[in-house]
Chains A and B, each alone.
Chain A
Amino acid sequence: MYNFHFISSLFYETLFTFPFPSFNNLNFNPNFNFMGLRFSSFLSNSTVSSGPTLGELPESCVASIIAYMDPPQICQLATLNRAFRAASSADFVWESKLPPNYHLLLAKIFQDFPINLGKRDIYTSLCRLNSLDGGTKKVWVDKGTGKLCLAISSSKGLSITGVDDRRYWNYIITEESRFSTVAYLQHTWWFEVDGEIDFPFPAGTYSLFFRIHLGRAYKRFGRRVCNTEHVHGWDKKPVQFQLWTSDGQYVASQCFLKEPGNWTFYHAGDFTVEDGNSSTKVKFSMTQIDCTHTKGGLCLDSAFIYPSEFKKSKAFLNCS
Protein backbone atom coordinates (compact mmCIF):
# COMPACT_ATOMS: atom_id res chain seq x y z
CA MET A 1 0.00 0.00 0.00
CA TYR A 2 2.76 2.38 0.98
CA ASN A 3 4.82 1.55 -2.06
CA PHE A 4 1.89 2.16 -4.34
CA HIS A 5 1.27 5.60 -2.92
CA PHE A 6 4.93 6.41 -3.03
CA ILE A 7 5.14 5.48 -6.67
CA SER A 8 1.97 7.28 -7.56
CA SER A 9 3.15 10.48 -5.90
CA LEU A 10 6.43 10.28 -7.77
CA PHE A 11 4.35 9.86 -10.87
CA TYR A 12 2.47 13.08 -10.09
CA GLU A 13 5.82 14.85 -9.75
CA THR A 14 7.33 13.62 -12.97
CA LEU A 15 4.24 14.11 -15.05
CA PHE A 16 3.73 17.68 -14.04
CA THR A 17 7.23 19.04 -14.08
CA PHE A 18 6.90 20.20 -17.66
CA PRO A 19 5.27 23.62 -18.18
CA PHE A 20 1.61 23.24 -17.50
CA PRO A 21 -0.95 24.74 -19.87
CA SER A 22 -2.72 27.89 -18.71
CA PHE A 23 -5.74 27.71 -16.50
CA ASN A 24 -8.22 28.20 -19.28
CA ASN A 25 -6.92 25.28 -21.22
CA LEU A 26 -7.31 22.49 -18.74
CA ASN A 27 -6.78 19.38 -20.74
CA PHE A 28 -6.33 16.22 -18.80
CA ASN A 29 -4.24 13.61 -20.51
CA PRO A 30 -6.85 11.04 -21.40
CA ASN A 31 -4.45 8.21 -20.76
CA PHE A 32 -3.41 9.43 -17.36
CA ASN A 33 -4.77 7.09 -14.85
CA PHE A 34 -4.16 8.52 -11.40
CA MET A 35 -7.78 8.49 -10.54
CA GLY A 36 -7.88 5.00 -11.91
CA LEU A 37 -6.65 3.97 -8.50
CA ARG A 38 -10.27 3.81 -7.52
CA PHE A 39 -12.24 4.86 -10.52
CA SER A 40 -12.43 3.73 -14.07
CA SER A 41 -10.10 5.47 -16.42
CA PHE A 42 -10.73 8.80 -18.00
CA LEU A 43 -12.72 8.87 -21.14
CA SER A 44 -10.87 9.80 -24.21
CA ASN A 45 -10.88 12.31 -26.95
CA SER A 46 -13.01 15.23 -25.92
CA THR A 47 -11.97 18.34 -27.73
CA VAL A 48 -10.17 21.06 -25.82
CA SER A 49 -12.74 23.65 -24.89
CA SER A 50 -12.32 27.15 -23.68
CA GLY A 51 -13.71 26.56 -20.20
CA PRO A 52 -13.27 23.72 -17.77
CA THR A 53 -15.33 20.78 -18.91
CA LEU A 54 -16.53 17.87 -16.94
CA GLY A 55 -16.63 15.65 -19.95
CA GLU A 56 -13.36 14.04 -18.99
CA LEU A 57 -14.57 12.98 -15.58
CA PRO A 58 -14.54 9.30 -14.74
CA GLU A 59 -17.95 7.75 -14.54
CA SER A 60 -17.92 7.50 -10.77
CA CYS A 61 -17.70 11.30 -10.58
CA VAL A 62 -20.61 11.62 -12.96
CA ALA A 63 -22.41 9.05 -10.84
CA SER A 64 -21.82 11.12 -7.75
CA ILE A 65 -23.64 14.07 -9.29
CA ILE A 66 -26.50 12.14 -10.79
CA ALA A 67 -27.02 10.26 -7.53
CA TYR A 68 -28.53 13.50 -6.24
CA MET A 69 -30.94 13.76 -9.17
CA ASP A 70 -34.39 12.27 -9.38
CA PRO A 71 -34.88 8.99 -11.23
CA PRO A 72 -36.64 10.33 -14.32
CA GLN A 73 -33.82 12.79 -14.91
CA ILE A 74 -31.19 10.12 -14.36
CA CYS A 75 -32.82 7.98 -17.02
CA GLN A 76 -32.99 10.94 -19.41
CA LEU A 77 -29.29 11.65 -18.98
CA ALA A 78 -28.35 8.09 -19.80
CA THR A 79 -28.57 9.21 -23.42
CA LEU A 80 -25.81 11.83 -23.14
CA ASN A 81 -22.79 9.65 -23.67
CA ARG A 82 -21.20 6.42 -22.54
CA ALA A 83 -19.99 7.74 -19.23
CA PHE A 84 -23.46 8.98 -18.34
CA ARG A 85 -25.04 5.77 -19.46
CA ALA A 86 -22.68 3.74 -17.33
CA ALA A 87 -23.03 6.09 -14.38
CA SER A 88 -26.81 6.02 -14.66
CA SER A 89 -26.84 2.29 -14.11
CA ALA A 90 -24.43 2.35 -11.16
CA ASP A 91 -25.87 0.38 -8.29
CA PHE A 92 -25.02 2.94 -5.64
CA VAL A 93 -27.02 5.61 -7.46
CA TRP A 94 -30.16 3.47 -7.30
CA GLU A 95 -29.60 1.95 -3.91
CA SER A 96 -30.40 5.31 -2.36
CA LYS A 97 -33.59 5.70 -4.41
CA LEU A 98 -35.07 2.33 -3.51
CA PRO A 99 -37.42 2.02 -0.55
CA PRO A 100 -35.30 0.78 2.35
CA ASN A 101 -37.30 -2.43 2.66
CA TYR A 102 -37.23 -3.24 -1.03
CA HIS A 103 -36.25 -6.86 -0.37
CA LEU A 104 -39.54 -7.38 1.42
CA LEU A 105 -41.43 -5.60 -1.34
CA LEU A 106 -39.89 -7.81 -4.00
CA ALA A 107 -40.76 -10.91 -2.04
CA LYS A 108 -44.34 -9.78 -1.58
CA ILE A 109 -44.94 -8.59 -5.12
CA PHE A 110 -43.06 -11.01 -7.30
CA GLN A 111 -43.11 -14.80 -7.25
CA ASP A 112 -39.53 -15.26 -8.17
CA PHE A 113 -37.55 -12.16 -8.80
CA PRO A 114 -34.14 -12.70 -10.41
CA ILE A 115 -31.57 -12.17 -7.70
CA ASN A 116 -28.75 -10.68 -9.70
CA LEU A 117 -30.66 -7.83 -11.30
CA GLY A 118 -29.01 -4.40 -10.95
CA LYS A 119 -30.51 -1.88 -8.58
CA ARG A 120 -31.79 0.30 -11.41
CA ASP A 121 -33.73 -2.60 -12.86
CA ILE A 122 -35.14 -3.37 -9.44
CA TYR A 123 -36.26 0.25 -9.21
CA THR A 124 -37.94 0.28 -12.59
CA SER A 125 -39.67 -3.02 -11.84
CA LEU A 126 -41.08 -1.62 -8.64
CA CYS A 127 -42.26 1.48 -10.53
CA ARG A 128 -44.54 -0.53 -12.74
CA LEU A 129 -48.21 -1.04 -11.88
CA ASN A 130 -47.68 -4.38 -10.22
CA SER A 131 -50.67 -6.58 -9.50
CA LEU A 132 -51.33 -8.12 -6.12
CA ASP A 133 -53.89 -10.60 -4.87
CA GLY A 134 -55.10 -11.78 -8.23
CA GLY A 135 -55.29 -8.33 -9.74
CA THR A 136 -57.61 -6.89 -7.09
CA LYS A 137 -54.84 -4.54 -5.96
CA LYS A 138 -52.06 -2.62 -7.66
CA VAL A 139 -48.85 -1.52 -6.01
CA TRP A 140 -46.11 0.70 -7.40
CA VAL A 141 -43.29 2.98 -6.42
CA ASP A 142 -43.72 6.59 -7.52
CA LYS A 143 -40.87 7.06 -9.97
CA GLY A 144 -39.98 10.60 -8.99
CA THR A 145 -39.90 10.16 -5.23
CA GLY A 146 -39.28 6.46 -4.66
CA LYS A 147 -42.33 6.25 -2.39
CA LEU A 148 -44.78 3.39 -2.32
CA CYS A 149 -48.39 3.71 -3.53
CA LEU A 150 -51.23 1.23 -3.51
CA ALA A 151 -54.68 0.96 -5.08
CA ILE A 152 -57.44 -1.45 -4.05
CA SER A 153 -60.11 -2.12 -6.64
CA SER A 154 -63.83 -1.83 -6.01
CA SER A 155 -64.12 -4.98 -8.05
CA LYS A 156 -63.40 -7.75 -5.53
CA GLY A 157 -60.71 -5.72 -3.76
CA LEU A 158 -63.16 -3.85 -1.55
CA SER A 159 -66.14 -5.33 0.23
CA ILE A 160 -69.31 -3.47 -0.78
CA THR A 161 -72.57 -4.15 1.01
CA GLY A 162 -75.19 -5.30 -1.47
CA VAL A 163 -72.85 -5.29 -4.44
CA ASP A 164 -74.30 -8.51 -5.76
CA ASP A 165 -77.77 -7.06 -6.01
CA ARG A 166 -78.01 -5.64 -9.48
CA ARG A 167 -80.89 -3.41 -8.48
CA TYR A 168 -78.37 -1.45 -6.49
CA TRP A 169 -74.89 -1.98 -7.83
CA ASN A 170 -73.39 -2.71 -11.22
CA TYR A 171 -69.89 -2.90 -12.55
CA ILE A 172 -69.19 -0.72 -15.53
CA ILE A 173 -66.23 -0.84 -17.83
CA THR A 174 -64.15 2.29 -17.91
CA GLU A 175 -60.90 3.75 -19.15
CA GLU A 176 -60.77 6.17 -16.28
CA SER A 177 -59.35 3.79 -13.71
CA ARG A 178 -56.21 1.78 -13.10
CA PHE A 179 -58.58 -1.16 -13.07
CA SER A 180 -60.82 -2.04 -15.95
CA THR A 181 -64.10 -1.64 -14.09
CA VAL A 182 -65.60 0.60 -11.45
CA ALA A 183 -68.65 -0.04 -9.29
CA TYR A 184 -71.73 2.07 -9.99
CA LEU A 185 -74.43 2.59 -7.38
CA GLN A 186 -77.92 3.39 -8.59
CA HIS A 187 -79.46 3.65 -5.16
CA THR A 188 -79.32 2.11 -1.71
CA TRP A 189 -80.36 2.72 1.87
CA TRP A 190 -77.25 1.16 3.30
CA PHE A 191 -74.05 2.47 1.77
CA GLU A 192 -71.03 0.66 3.19
CA VAL A 193 -67.64 -0.07 1.70
CA ASP A 194 -65.02 -1.94 3.70
CA GLY A 195 -61.48 -2.87 2.88
CA GLU A 196 -58.31 -4.18 4.36
CA ILE A 197 -54.70 -4.55 3.33
CA ASP A 198 -51.79 -6.42 4.84
CA PHE A 199 -48.59 -5.14 3.29
CA PRO A 200 -44.96 -4.32 4.20
CA PHE A 201 -45.23 -0.55 3.81
CA PRO A 202 -41.88 1.22 4.06
CA ALA A 203 -41.67 3.34 7.21
CA GLY A 204 -43.50 6.63 6.86
CA THR A 205 -46.93 8.22 7.07
CA TYR A 206 -49.62 7.33 4.59
CA SER A 207 -53.01 8.72 3.64
CA LEU A 208 -55.97 6.66 2.53
CA PHE A 209 -58.39 8.01 -0.08
CA PHE A 210 -61.50 6.81 -1.84
CA ARG A 211 -61.70 7.83 -5.47
CA ILE A 212 -65.30 8.63 -6.21
CA HIS A 213 -67.30 10.13 -9.05
CA LEU A 214 -70.81 11.39 -8.62
CA GLY A 215 -72.70 10.72 -11.79
CA ARG A 216 -71.96 8.26 -14.55
CA ALA A 217 -69.52 9.24 -17.25
CA TYR A 218 -69.50 7.95 -20.76
CA LYS A 219 -68.27 8.97 -24.20
CA ARG A 220 -70.67 10.42 -26.69
CA PHE A 221 -69.30 11.20 -30.14
CA GLY A 222 -65.84 11.22 -28.61
CA ARG A 223 -66.71 13.72 -25.91
CA ARG A 224 -66.99 12.94 -22.24
CA VAL A 225 -70.50 13.30 -20.93
CA CYS A 226 -71.76 12.88 -17.39
CA ASN A 227 -75.18 11.50 -16.54
CA THR A 228 -76.28 12.68 -13.12
CA GLU A 229 -79.88 11.40 -13.17
CA HIS A 230 -79.28 8.99 -10.29
CA VAL A 231 -77.25 11.35 -8.10
CA HIS A 232 -79.19 11.96 -4.92
CA GLY A 233 -79.03 11.77 -1.15
CA TRP A 234 -75.45 12.82 -0.57
CA ASP A 235 -76.31 16.26 0.60
CA LYS A 236 -78.49 15.05 3.48
CA LYS A 237 -75.89 13.48 5.72
CA PRO A 238 -72.11 13.27 5.46
CA VAL A 239 -70.23 10.11 4.65
CA GLN A 240 -68.30 8.57 7.59
CA PHE A 241 -64.74 7.32 7.26
CA GLN A 242 -62.88 5.08 9.67
CA LEU A 243 -59.41 3.60 9.65
CA TRP A 244 -57.75 1.06 11.97
CA THR A 245 -54.27 -0.41 12.04
CA SER A 246 -53.13 -3.62 13.71
CA ASP A 247 -50.92 -1.61 16.05
CA GLY A 248 -53.81 0.34 17.47
CA GLN A 249 -54.04 3.49 15.38
CA TYR A 250 -57.58 4.71 14.78
CA VAL A 251 -58.95 7.67 12.93
CA ALA A 252 -62.52 8.70 12.12
CA SER A 253 -63.78 11.58 10.02
CA GLN A 254 -66.71 12.62 7.90
CA CYS A 255 -67.45 14.84 4.98
CA PHE A 256 -70.12 15.56 2.40
CA LEU A 257 -69.64 14.23 -1.09
CA LYS A 258 -69.95 16.91 -3.71
CA GLU A 259 -69.05 17.99 -7.23
CA PRO A 260 -70.76 15.65 -9.66
CA GLY A 261 -68.89 15.14 -12.89
CA ASN A 262 -65.31 14.82 -11.60
CA TRP A 263 -63.31 12.09 -10.00
CA THR A 264 -62.50 13.22 -6.49
CA PHE A 265 -60.18 11.74 -3.92
CA TYR A 266 -61.88 11.77 -0.52
CA HIS A 267 -59.39 11.64 2.33
CA ALA A 268 -60.36 8.96 4.84
CA GLY A 269 -57.45 9.23 7.27
CA ASP A 270 -53.73 8.79 7.87
CA PHE A 271 -51.66 6.08 9.49
CA THR A 272 -48.00 5.80 10.37
CA VAL A 273 -45.69 2.88 9.82
CA GLU A 274 -42.74 2.82 12.20
CA ASP A 275 -40.97 -0.24 10.99
CA GLY A 276 -40.75 -1.22 7.35
CA ASN A 277 -39.42 -4.63 8.24
CA SER A 278 -42.77 -6.06 9.15
CA SER A 279 -46.13 -6.15 7.49
CA THR A 280 -48.72 -3.53 8.42
CA LYS A 281 -52.40 -4.44 8.50
CA VAL A 282 -54.88 -1.65 7.83
CA LYS A 283 -58.68 -1.82 7.88
CA PHE A 284 -60.86 0.98 6.63
CA SER A 285 -64.45 1.76 5.85
CA MET A 286 -66.70 4.33 4.28
CA THR A 287 -70.36 4.39 5.28
CA GLN A 288 -73.53 6.32 4.95
CA ILE A 289 -76.13 4.18 6.58
CA ASP A 290 -78.81 6.62 7.52
CA CYS A 291 -81.83 4.58 6.51
CA THR A 292 -84.23 7.51 6.39
CA HIS A 293 -83.22 8.19 2.84
CA THR A 294 -81.64 6.53 -0.15
CA LYS A 295 -78.55 7.72 -1.91
CA GLY A 296 -77.13 6.88 -5.30
CA GLY A 297 -75.60 7.86 -8.62
CA LEU A 298 -72.09 7.15 -7.35
CA CYS A 299 -69.13 5.55 -9.09
CA LEU A 300 -66.61 3.97 -6.80
CA ASP A 301 -63.24 3.40 -8.42
CA SER A 302 -60.88 2.26 -5.70
CA ALA A 303 -59.25 3.00 -2.39
CA PHE A 304 -55.79 4.53 -2.68
CA ILE A 305 -52.97 4.65 -0.21
CA TYR A 306 -50.43 7.37 -0.92
CA PRO A 307 -47.56 8.81 1.13
CA SER A 308 -49.02 11.69 3.11
CA GLU A 309 -46.64 14.21 1.60
CA PHE A 310 -48.42 13.70 -1.73
CA LYS A 311 -51.36 15.67 -0.36
CA LYS A 312 -49.23 18.76 -0.85
CA SER A 313 -47.16 17.77 -3.84
CA LYS A 314 -49.71 16.08 -6.11
CA ALA A 315 -52.36 18.34 -7.57
CA PHE A 316 -54.89 15.57 -8.09
CA LEU A 317 -55.09 14.95 -4.38
CA ASN A 318 -56.55 18.32 -3.51
CA CYS A 319 -58.93 16.74 -1.08
CA SER A 320 -62.28 17.85 0.05
Chain B
Amino acid sequence: MAQEASSSTSSKTISLKTGDGEIFEIEASAAKQMKTVQRLIDDLGDDITIPLHNVFSKELPKIIEYYKKDITGEITKDFEAEFVKDLNDDEVKVLFLAANYLDANKLFEFLSQNIADRLESKSVEYVRKYFGVENDFTPEEESKLREERAWSFRGIKEDE
Protein backbone atom coordinates (compact mmCIF):
# COMPACT_ATOMS: atom_id res chain seq x y z
CA MET B 1 0.00 0.00 0.00
CA ALA B 2 2.81 2.39 0.85
CA GLN B 3 4.33 1.94 -2.58
CA GLU B 4 1.18 3.10 -4.32
CA ALA B 5 2.03 6.75 -4.07
CA SER B 6 5.08 6.42 -6.27
CA SER B 7 3.57 4.13 -8.91
CA SER B 8 2.33 5.60 -12.20
CA THR B 9 -1.33 6.46 -12.47
CA SER B 10 -1.77 4.70 -15.78
CA SER B 11 -3.23 1.50 -14.36
CA LYS B 12 -4.99 3.05 -11.42
CA THR B 13 -8.74 3.41 -11.38
CA ILE B 14 -10.70 6.24 -9.85
CA SER B 15 -14.16 5.87 -8.32
CA LEU B 16 -16.76 8.38 -9.39
CA LYS B 17 -20.04 8.80 -7.59
CA THR B 18 -22.98 10.27 -9.50
CA GLY B 19 -25.55 12.68 -8.18
CA ASP B 20 -28.00 9.81 -7.77
CA GLY B 21 -25.58 7.81 -5.69
CA GLU B 22 -24.15 5.26 -8.12
CA ILE B 23 -20.46 4.52 -8.32
CA PHE B 24 -18.52 3.98 -11.52
CA GLU B 25 -14.87 3.16 -12.09
CA ILE B 26 -12.69 4.95 -14.57
CA GLU B 27 -9.03 4.64 -15.39
CA ALA B 28 -6.93 7.45 -14.00
CA SER B 29 -5.60 8.34 -17.44
CA ALA B 30 -9.15 8.74 -18.70
CA ALA B 31 -10.10 10.78 -15.64
CA LYS B 32 -7.23 13.09 -16.49
CA GLN B 33 -9.08 14.11 -19.66
CA MET B 34 -11.87 15.58 -17.56
CA LYS B 35 -10.35 18.61 -15.95
CA THR B 36 -13.01 19.00 -13.29
CA VAL B 37 -12.45 15.43 -12.15
CA GLN B 38 -8.69 15.88 -12.24
CA ARG B 39 -8.95 19.01 -10.12
CA LEU B 40 -11.01 17.14 -7.56
CA ILE B 41 -8.47 14.31 -7.57
CA ASP B 42 -5.66 16.81 -7.06
CA ASP B 43 -7.45 18.35 -4.12
CA LEU B 44 -9.08 15.35 -2.52
CA GLY B 45 -6.65 12.56 -3.43
CA ASP B 46 -7.18 9.61 -5.72
CA ASP B 47 -8.18 7.12 -3.05
CA ILE B 48 -11.41 8.90 -2.31
CA THR B 49 -14.60 8.38 -4.27
CA ILE B 50 -14.99 11.56 -6.28
CA PRO B 51 -18.47 13.07 -5.98
CA LEU B 52 -20.02 14.37 -9.21
CA HIS B 53 -23.24 15.95 -8.05
CA ASN B 54 -24.30 17.23 -11.45
CA VAL B 55 -23.73 14.06 -13.40
CA PHE B 56 -26.06 11.09 -13.18
CA SER B 57 -25.99 7.39 -13.73
CA LYS B 58 -27.78 7.71 -17.04
CA GLU B 59 -25.03 9.67 -18.75
CA LEU B 60 -21.81 8.92 -16.90
CA PRO B 61 -21.33 5.45 -18.40
CA LYS B 62 -21.60 6.95 -21.88
CA ILE B 63 -18.94 9.52 -21.02
CA ILE B 64 -16.71 6.85 -19.57
CA GLU B 65 -17.20 4.80 -22.73
CA TYR B 66 -16.03 7.76 -24.81
CA TYR B 67 -12.88 8.35 -22.83
CA LYS B 68 -12.07 4.67 -22.62
CA LYS B 69 -11.83 4.78 -26.42
CA ASP B 70 -9.95 8.03 -26.30
CA ILE B 71 -7.07 6.82 -24.16
CA THR B 72 -6.47 3.87 -26.47
CA GLY B 73 -6.53 6.22 -29.47
CA GLU B 74 -9.48 4.42 -31.01
CA ILE B 75 -11.83 7.32 -31.58
CA THR B 76 -12.73 7.20 -35.25
CA LYS B 77 -15.41 8.89 -37.31
CA ASP B 78 -17.32 5.62 -37.29
CA PHE B 79 -17.14 5.35 -33.54
CA GLU B 80 -18.34 8.92 -33.12
CA ALA B 81 -21.22 8.35 -35.55
CA GLU B 82 -22.25 5.22 -33.62
CA PHE B 83 -21.89 7.06 -30.33
CA VAL B 84 -24.54 9.64 -31.14
CA LYS B 85 -26.64 7.59 -33.52
CA ASP B 86 -29.33 6.51 -31.11
CA LEU B 87 -29.29 9.55 -28.88
CA ASN B 88 -32.31 11.78 -29.04
CA ASP B 89 -32.02 15.54 -28.72
CA ASP B 90 -32.56 15.57 -24.96
CA GLU B 91 -29.95 12.89 -24.37
CA VAL B 92 -27.39 14.82 -26.41
CA LYS B 93 -28.18 17.94 -24.42
CA VAL B 94 -27.68 16.14 -21.13
CA LEU B 95 -24.35 14.74 -22.29
CA PHE B 96 -23.30 18.17 -23.47
CA LEU B 97 -24.18 19.74 -20.13
CA ALA B 98 -22.27 16.98 -18.36
CA ALA B 99 -19.22 17.38 -20.60
CA ASN B 100 -19.31 21.08 -19.83
CA TYR B 101 -19.51 20.46 -16.09
CA LEU B 102 -16.72 17.91 -16.23
CA ASP B 103 -14.60 20.19 -18.41
CA ALA B 104 -14.11 17.26 -20.76
CA ASN B 105 -12.86 19.16 -23.74
CA LYS B 106 -12.74 16.56 -26.48
CA LEU B 107 -16.24 15.29 -25.80
CA PHE B 108 -17.47 18.83 -25.38
CA GLU B 109 -16.16 19.86 -28.80
CA PHE B 110 -17.52 16.72 -30.43
CA LEU B 111 -20.98 17.29 -28.95
CA SER B 112 -20.86 20.99 -29.93
CA GLN B 113 -20.36 19.87 -33.51
CA ASN B 114 -23.12 17.29 -33.20
CA ILE B 115 -25.63 19.77 -31.81
CA ALA B 116 -24.71 22.27 -34.53
CA ASP B 117 -25.30 19.52 -37.10
CA ARG B 118 -28.70 18.73 -35.60
CA LEU B 119 -29.64 22.40 -35.86
CA GLU B 120 -28.37 22.93 -39.39
CA SER B 121 -30.95 24.63 -41.60
CA LYS B 122 -33.47 24.72 -38.78
CA SER B 123 -35.54 27.82 -38.17
CA VAL B 124 -34.82 30.34 -35.45
CA GLU B 125 -37.96 29.21 -33.62
CA TYR B 126 -36.80 25.61 -33.67
CA VAL B 127 -33.47 26.60 -32.17
CA ARG B 128 -35.22 28.72 -29.59
CA LYS B 129 -37.31 25.75 -28.49
CA TYR B 130 -34.33 23.43 -28.56
CA PHE B 131 -32.32 25.59 -26.19
CA GLY B 132 -35.38 26.63 -24.20
CA VAL B 133 -34.35 30.25 -24.34
CA GLU B 134 -36.56 33.24 -23.96
CA ASN B 135 -36.08 36.57 -25.58
CA ASP B 136 -34.55 38.78 -22.91
CA PHE B 137 -33.81 41.85 -24.98
CA THR B 138 -35.16 45.22 -23.98
CA PRO B 139 -37.12 47.07 -26.70
CA GLU B 140 -34.13 49.36 -27.28
CA GLU B 141 -31.82 46.40 -27.71
CA GLU B 142 -34.31 44.80 -30.10
CA SER B 143 -34.36 47.77 -32.41
CA LYS B 144 -30.60 48.11 -32.28
CA LEU B 145 -30.41 44.45 -33.21
CA ARG B 146 -32.67 44.98 -36.20
CA GLU B 147 -30.39 47.77 -37.40
CA GLU B 148 -27.34 45.56 -37.02
CA ARG B 149 -28.91 42.76 -38.99
CA ALA B 150 -29.91 45.19 -41.68
CA TRP B 151 -26.33 45.96 -42.55
CA SER B 152 -24.64 42.74 -41.62
CA PHE B 153 -24.93 40.93 -44.95
CA ARG B 154 -26.24 43.80 -46.97
CA GLY B 155 -25.25 44.38 -50.52
CA ILE B 156 -24.67 40.79 -51.43
CA LYS B 157 -26.16 40.01 -54.80
CA GLU B 158 -27.22 36.41 -55.11
CA ASP B 159 -25.83 34.71 -58.13
CA GLU B 160 -28.18 33.82 -60.93
Could you list which residues of chain A lie within 8 angstroms of chain B, going by C-beta atoms?
2, 5-6, 8-9, 12-13, 16, 20, 23, 26, 35, 43, 46-47, 49, 51-55, 57, 61-62, 64-70, 72-73, 75-85, 124, 127-129, 140, 143, 176, 178, 263, 314, 316
Q: Mark B139-160, 1 if CB is under 8 A from A, else 0.
A: 0010001001101111111011
B134/A81 in contact, CB under 8 A: yes
A52/B153 in contact, CB under 8 A: no
Complexed CA–CA distance, A78 and B115 (Å): 17
Kindly list chain B residues whose C-beta atoms are within 8 Å of the C-beta of A263.
160
In the assembled complex, how far is the CB of residue B113 from the closest CB belonging to chain A, in whole angstroms? 5
Kindly list chain A residues whose C-beta atoms are within 8 Å of the C-beta of B149.
75, 78-79
A49/B132 in contact, CB under 8 A: yes
Kindly list chain A residues whose C-beta atoms are within 8 Å of the C-beta of B94.
52
Out of B124, B132, B134, B155, name the residue touching A77 (CB < 8 Å): B124
Out of A54, A69, A79, name the residue touching B131 (CB < 8 Å): A54
Kindly list chain B residues whose C-beta atoms are within 8 Å of the C-beta of A77.
124, 127
In the assembled complex, how far is the CB of residue A305 from the closest CB belonging to chain B, in whole angstroms? 13
Out of A20, A62, A75, A314, name the residue touching B53 (CB < 8 Å): A20
A85/B145 in contact, CB under 8 A: yes
Complexed CA–CA distance, A143 and B156 (Å): 9
| Range class of the B interface residue count | 35 or more
Chain A residue with the shortest CB-CB distance to B144 = A85
Binds A, one of B1-9, B40-48, B64-72: B40-48
Out of B20, B100, B119, B137, name the residue touching A57 (CB < 8 Å): B100
Kindly list chain A residues whose C-beta atoms are within 8 Å of the C-beta of B119.
65, 69, 73
Interface residues of B in 72-102 (CB under 8 A from A): 90, 93-94, 96-97, 100
B145/A79 in contact, CB under 8 A: yes
A72/B153 in contact, CB under 8 A: yes
Known contacts: A46-B132, A49-B132, A52-B90. The answer to whether A23 contacts B108 by CB under 8 A is no
Chain A residue with the shortest CB-CB distance to B101 = A35
Complexed CA–CA distance, A63 and B153 (Å): 20
Chain A residue with the shortest CB-CB distance to B98 = A52
In the assembled complex, how far is the CB of residue B134 from the closest CB belonging to chain A, in whole angstroms? 7
14 additional contacts (CB under 8 A) given A2-B42, A8-B39: A12-B40, A23-B56, A35-B100, A46-B134, A52-B94, A54-B96, A67-B112, A67-B116, A69-B120, A70-B120, A75-B152, A81-B137, A85-B145, A124-B152
Kindly list chain A residues whose C-beta atoms are within 8 Å of the C-beta of B120.
69-70, 73
B44/A80 in contact, CB under 8 A: no
